Amino acid sequence: MKKLALVLAILVSLGSFFAWRMTRVDSAANAPFLGYVEGETLYIGPNEGERVAVLFVSAGAAVKAGDPLFSMSTPLLDRSRAEAVARIGQLEAQMQNLKAATSRPEQIAILQAGLERAEAALTLSRNDYQRQRTLFRQGHVARAALDRAEMALRRDEASVKEARRQVEAARIPGRSQEIEAAEAALGQARAQLQAIDIRIARQSVAAPAAGVVQDVFFRPGEVVNAGQPVVALLPPENRRVRFYVPEPRLATVKVGARVKVNCDGCASDLFGRISFVASRQEYTPPVIFSDVERAKLVFKAEARLEGAARELPLGMPVAVTPVGDENK
């Protein structure tokens, strides 16, 4: 009798163990996948380096597509634009002169006076360059001062050449080839002005999409390099859930399948759709895999959030449960 009772006790124990084991396996097979919310942030910066002039947003602000984010100072571009406008005016005046049959003596006299003025400026800049070069060799001035003097010399040399050619051209009738060349130069100058206007407009940066400002990295007055982010913007459609799937349940996770997202204190109707499943495991045990070791393998997966789930904060821990392809 004692042996029979012992055998019955062992059988009952084994039955209880296998029942517990099956319950645990079934529970593990239906357990949700654990993960967290993350986002693909847009880092927005200027096309050209300069100082931040105006900042229109702050961290946490919600913006719509096209809303202004910040604008950069444009002193150099403004100066280039003024020079381009003056150049266009000069070329238009030259065009009118070329289209005249001959230049009047008064016009030639004016051009000659301009040539003399340019020659005087060249003499002054040449003397200044020589003086700056001597001072630079003696260590009394910086290299920048010598560079400015050299630039002024080259500019005045070009001005003299231009003024001399204007005087020579004024003494002969306008030619069709010269008129065509002047028209081409005028068209090029107008294209340069248009390009400068585009560069100035691009220094006022707007939101490329609706979203929430996650962070602001620079303040007005600070210098920002080209492409360096000033504002971090997160569109709602860029929020996603990253979770990890154990190897035994990998076959149940398919790209495009709908999942339910649960978190502490969240609404019960949060959903997403699987957009990515990794082809390689995140953790690799020893080379020889047993059934237990295979369960340690996890594969990264991602699901795009839908509807109200797009408002979940970044970093929020969540539990993800597949719900098939049902549409809700």
Q: What is the CATH number of the domain that holds 53?
A: 2.40.50.100
Q: How many whole angstroms separate alpha carbon 309 and alpha carbon 189? A: 53
Q: Is the domain of 146 the same as that of 209?
A: no
Q: Is the domain of 228 the same as that of 123?
A: no
Q: Is the domain of 61 the same as that of 143?
A: no
pLDDT in tens, 78-131: 999 999 999 999 988 888 877 764 556 777 788 888 888 888 888 888 888 888
Q: How many whole angstroms separate alpha carbon 273 and alpha carbon 256? A: 6
Whole-number pLDDT of residue 133: 85
In the block, tokens 């719900």 appear at 323
Q: pTM of the full predicted structure?
A: 0.57
| pLDDT of 3 above 70 | no
Nearest alpha-carbon partner for 261 in 233, 301, 210, 296: 301
Domain enclosing residue 276, as ranges: 30-40+236-324
Q: Is the domain of 96 the same as that of 243?
A: no
| 3: in domain | no
Whole-number pLDDT of residue 232: 94
In this structure, are residues 180 and 92 in contact, taking their beta carbons and an 8 Å threshold?
Answer: no
The residue type of 179 is I
Q: Is the domain of 93 the same as that of 178?
A: yes
pLDDT in tens, 162-207: 888 888 777 765 566 777 888 888 899 999 999 999 999 999 999 9
Q: How many whole angstroms separate alpha carbon 304 and alpha carbon 275? A: 6
β-strand partners of 305:
272
Q: How many whole angstroms separate alpha carbon 58 and alpha carbon 234? A: 13
Q: How many whole angstroms separate alpha carbon 305 and alpha carbon 141? A: 63
In this structure, are residues 108 and 167 in contact, taking their beta carbons and an 8 Å threshold?
Answer: yes
Q: Is the domain of 85 the same as that of 188?
A: yes
Task: Please report, for residues 94, 115, 126, 177, the alpha-carbon distance to residue 100 in angstroms, rounded to integers and kept in the order given.
Answer: 10, 21, 36, 14
More confident residue, 296 or 35: 35
In this structure, are residues 204 and 66 in contact, taking their beta carbons and an 8 Å threshold?
Answer: no
Q: Is the domain of 222 the same as that of 302?
A: no
Mean pLDDT of all residues in 223-233: 92
Whole-number pLDDT of residue 122: 83
What's the sign of the alpha-carbon dihedral 135, 140, 143, 146?
A: negative
Residue 138's pLDDT band (cuts 50, 70, 90):
confident
| 66: in domain | yes
Report the percentage of the chain scoring pLDDT > 70. 81
List the single range of 27-31, 140-144, 166-170, 179-183 with lowest mean pLDDT: 27-31
Domain count, the chain: 3
Q: Is the domain of 213 the same as that of 273?
A: no
Phi first, then psi: what are they for 34, rounded to 5°?
-95, 145
Q: How many whole angstroms separate alpha carbon 293 and alpha carbon 281? A: 13
- Beta strand residue intervals within the chain, DSSP E: 33-39, 42-44, 50-55, 62-63, 68-72, 204-206, 211-216, 223-224, 231-234, 239-246, 258-262, 271-281, 298-306, 317-324
Q: What is the DSSP string of 172-210?
A: S---HHHHHHHHHHHHHHHHHHHHHHHHHHHTEEE-SS-
CATH of the domain at 312: 2.40.30.170
Q: Is the domain of 134 the same as that of 99?
A: yes
Q: Is the domain of 68 the same as that of 211?
A: yes
| 25: in domain | no
More confident residue, 164 or 6: 164
